[in-house]
Amino acid sequence: MLNLDALQQLKQLKQEIHSNRNLATGTVKGTTSKFGFVTLAETGKDVFLSPDEMLKVFPGDEIEVEIFSDSKKKDYAVVLKLIRSELKVFTGEFKVKNKACFAEPDINGMSRWLFIPPNKTKGCKEGDLIKCKVTQHPLKTGKPQVEVLEVLGKTSKPFIEREYTIAKYDLPVHWSKKINELLTQLPEKVHWEASKRQDLRQLPFVTIDSASTQDMDDALYAEQTENGWKVLIAIADPTEFIAPGSAIEKEAFNRGTSVYYPGQVISMLPEEIANKLSSLVEGEDRLAIICDMDIDNEGNIRSYQLTEGVIHSQAKLSYEAVADYLENSRPLLKNTLSESPETVSEEIAAGVSRLAQVFALLNQWRYKNALINDERPDYRTRLNDKGKIDKIIVVKPNIAHKIVEECMIAANRCAADFMANTIGSGLFITHRGIRKERLESIGKIIEQDIVPQHGADAITDKPDTLEGFKNLLQLAERTQASVSLRTAISRQLERSILSEKAEPHCGMGLPLYTNFTSPIRKFNDFYVHRLIKNKINGAPYHQLTSENITALQNRQMTSRQAANETENWLKWQYMEPLADQTFQGVIQRSNSAGFFVKLTDNGIEGFVSTKDMPEKYSFDQVYMTLKSKSRTFTLDQVLTVKCGRVDKKRHQIIFDIVEEAKPDEVVSNESPAQENTVPQS
């Protein structure tokens, strides 16, 4: 038997051995090959994981490793312990090999099949798309096991693309029993007589939206005053029908946003509220938050007031009908999807003309004092009865789109100011401008292009400040260079984020910004309504925590990713039969491996790989250009391409260059404000 001294010495020896080992924790990062990496938590460094070690883990696992160095002094890691595995449920494809059943996971960085026991297949057949649950982690044996939870169907199944991404991203589609019970308690019509709301039903408010829109969340009215304009923007008020902390509100937070799939919308709020009680439908009394602005003849918002009101929209107008009236002097029609659209009254038509004048002033103010987005066409996909793309329609912004956009931006500016200066906190959309790691690159653009043409004194502030960023973009617009400097700068920006702090939105060139004009469709707008109404009524309010805000932003990002993935999937199928056709496109962004081209006719993006070209190319990270001995590819360059193939594993269409367009055919479809920002209205 060992005495106490010997035991103590043995314990000390073990501690010394342990302390001398190079141990670390980190997160597993997979690759398209069998090897991988562990990203160390403390330093962020990637350490190599051999194929044998990768068999023990899944991408995303948090693990403890021991780090060694090989004969070439290159570090590699050995897995010691699983701390946490995030992979519980996933989607993929059912595979059969030598009568054994497997799931091929649809997971970035995972290149292995996972065994499914024969009694856990739910009768799957080769090629079925499936949803699975992990039942055995591979750490101990290197042999993971999963079971099939749901058979989603074959890739030929109508609308499978949408059904699959709903399952992949775990999007809620149905309403719970509790919510359905609450919906039965809603009033059949809007009651407001007993409230203190401002009665604005006599004013000829109108809605301007897509002709098919049902969840209309804004209505507009403007009148001229002695020294400016009075503009009233009514925003639908769904918070009136949803109790704070109720099951409906909790579900709205969980969903985060309405998801706009091609041909279908998964609503954030139940239809009874979104399309009926809250929607600012023509000819019905509706509750709203009113943003009442006094605007001078230079487009300055001299003052504003946010109040609770009731309106009675007098016309449902479409973008196309308003543009036709303003640009082509055609009669202004309402309800254009009906069998017999009506011509509106002279009073309503005159009101729309006044809104166009207000747009011009607000737009002029932003041009002088903030940043204006370049106009970009929108591309809308129409599906056939099998859920495949029938056609892609190009929608170019017209005067009606611009009227609504400027009014919404103005209202959002007022809401942000109200939260910052009246409430003291809230939910803002902030944009920090240039990414920190790219400031050096921007410095080179300033030194090599801007200073030689405009002088060092032109750079009035640092580019990582709001005023410095605005000044930089304005100078970039006026600088002659071999590439579009503004576009090059726009590819080096942060993403916009939600924040409880009032901070600048550099991308829009504004000191404060938020969204509150889409409370039916986005929870951050809904929440801002709650804050504003509670402050107006002197009621307490609940501030979202930073964890809540992060969760909300992640859910919104996931929802957009699901819709985008569905649309991209449909576009791959749409392009495959068109492999022999040529298309004109514009280089949108680039990296060391190649560049992405967006087709002008249909908005579809594809990748051009420099590996498929005969020459070697070097990548200039400052100007985002690719150069060989004989060719240069720059952002905004126009090319003629054709669909070479579809890389379904990487979710990419691969384009081949057919010929270059003329060197002077350069277009600019995006601005930095639009590139990485949350939609403004």
CB atoms within 10 A of CB 134: 19
Q: Looking at residue 343, what is its pLDDT?
A: 95
DSSP 105-168: E--TT----EEE-GGGSTT--TT-EEEEEEEE-STTTS--EEEEEEEEE-TTSTTHHHHHHHHH
Indicate whether 254 and 113 sit together in one domain: no
To the nearest 10 degrees (0 to 180), the angle between helices 523-536 and 546-575 is 150
CB atoms within 10 A of CB 78: 14
Give the span between the Cα atoms of 566 and 543, in whole angstroms: 35
Give the span between the Cα atoms of 637 and 167, in whole angstroms: 38
The tokens for 389 are 């793309």
Indicate whether 617 and 522 sit together in one domain: no
Indicate whether 590 and 562 sit together in one domain: no
Q: Looking at residue 11, what is its pLDDT?
A: 67
The pLDDT tens digits for 166-183 are: 999 999 999 999 999 999
Helix boundaries (H) for 521-545: 523-536
- Whether 6 is in a domain gets the answer no
Indicate whether 221 and 318 sit together in one domain: yes
Q: Looking at residue 673, what is its pLDDT?
A: 36
Indicate whether 254 and 402 sit together in one domain: yes
Give the span between the Cα atoms of 166 and 173, in whole angstroms: 8
Give the span between the Cα atoms of 182 and 275, in whole angstroms: 17
Give the span between the Cα atoms of 134 and 146, in whole angstroms: 4
Q: Looking at residue 374, what is its pLDDT?
A: 81
Q: Looking at residue 46, what is its pLDDT?
A: 95
Q: Looking at residue 193, what is its pLDDT?
A: 79
Indicate whether 268 and 362 sit together in one domain: yes
What is the 8-class DSSP label of residue 398?
A: -
Q: How does residue 526 score in pLDDT terms, banded at 50, 70 and 90?
A: very high
The pLDDT tens digits for 304-320 are: 999 999 999 999 999 99
The pLDDT tens digits for 203-247 are: 999 999 999 888 999 999 999 999 999 999 999 999 999 999 999
Domain boundary pick from 452, 477, 492? 492
Angular region, 7: left φ>0, alpha ψ -120 to 50, beta rest: alpha
The total domain count for the chain is: 5
Indicate whether 394 and 527 sit together in one domain: yes
The tokens for 518 are 């889409």
Q: Looking at residue 62, what is its pLDDT?
A: 97
Range of the domain at 52: 20-84
Direct distance between the N- and C-terminal alpha carbons of the chain, in angstroms, rounded to an integer: 78
CA 473 to chain centre: 23
Q: What's the number of CA atoms in the CB half-sphere (13 Å) around residue 419?
A: 29
- Whether 8 is in a domain gets the answer no
CB atoms within 10 A of CB 155: 15
Residue range 15-27: mean pLDDT, rounded: 79
Q: Looking at residue 638, what is its pLDDT?
A: 95
CATH code, domain with 130 = 2.40.50.640
Give the span between the Cα atoms of 278 and 216, in whole angstroms: 8
- What sign results for the dihedral spanned by CA atoms 406, 408, 413, 414? positive
Cα→Cα distances 584→10, 194, 578, 580, 662, Å: 74, 60, 14, 14, 11
Nearest alpha-carbon partner for 206 in 400, 372, 58, 76: 400
Domain boundary pick from 60, 84, 108? 84
- Whether 510 is in a domain gets the answer no
Q: Which residues contact 46 (CB under 8 A, 6 or more apart)?
A: 29, 37, 38, 39, 40
Indicate whether 476 and 418 sit together in one domain: no
- Whether 497 is in a domain gets the answer no
Q: Do 55 and 142 meet the contact criterion of CB atoms below 8 Å apart?
A: yes
Angle at the Cα of 143 (from 140 to 147), degrees rounded to 5? 115
Domain boundary pick from 154, 185, 203? 154
Q: How does residue 202 score in pLDDT terms, banded at 50, 70 and 90?
A: very high
The tokens for 441 are 């690159």
Give the span between the Cα atoms of 393 and 91, in whole angstroms: 31
What is the 3-state secondary structure of 226-254? Answer: CCEEEEEEEEECHHHHCCCCCHHHHHHHH
Look up the pTM and report it. Answer: 0.90
What is the 8-class DSSP label of residue 72?
A: T
- Whether 417 is in a domain gets the answer yes
Residue range 650-665: mean pLDDT, rounded: 72
Indicate whether 239 and 334 sit together in one domain: yes
Indicate whether 288 and 243 sit together in one domain: yes
Residue 663 above 50 pLDDT? no
Which position has the higher pLDDT, 679 or 203? 203
Q: Looking at residue 670, what is its pLDDT?
A: 40
Residue 612 above 90 pLDDT? no
Place of tokens 């149905």: 174
The pLDDT tens digits for 239-260 are: 999 999 999 999 999 999 999 9
**Which helix (DSSP H) or strand (DSSP E) does residue 410 occupy?**
helix 399-418
- Our CA dihedral for 222, 224, 229, 230, rounded to 10 degrees, sits at -50
Residue range 668-680: mean pLDDT, rounded: 36
- Whether 5 is in a domain gets the answer no
**Residue type at position 355:** L
- Whether 1 is in a domain gets the answer no
Cα→Cα distances 663→280, 394, 500, 634, Å: 49, 25, 46, 11
- Whether 2 is in a domain gets the answer no
CATH code, domain with 624 = 2.40.50.140
The pLDDT tens digits for 529-563 are: 999 999 999 988 788 999 999 999 999 999 999 99
Cα→Cα distances 65→57, 79, 136, 534, Å: 12, 5, 21, 51
313 in helix, strand or coil?
coil
Indicate whether 266 and 207 sit together in one domain: yes
Indicate whether 382 and 526 sit together in one domain: yes
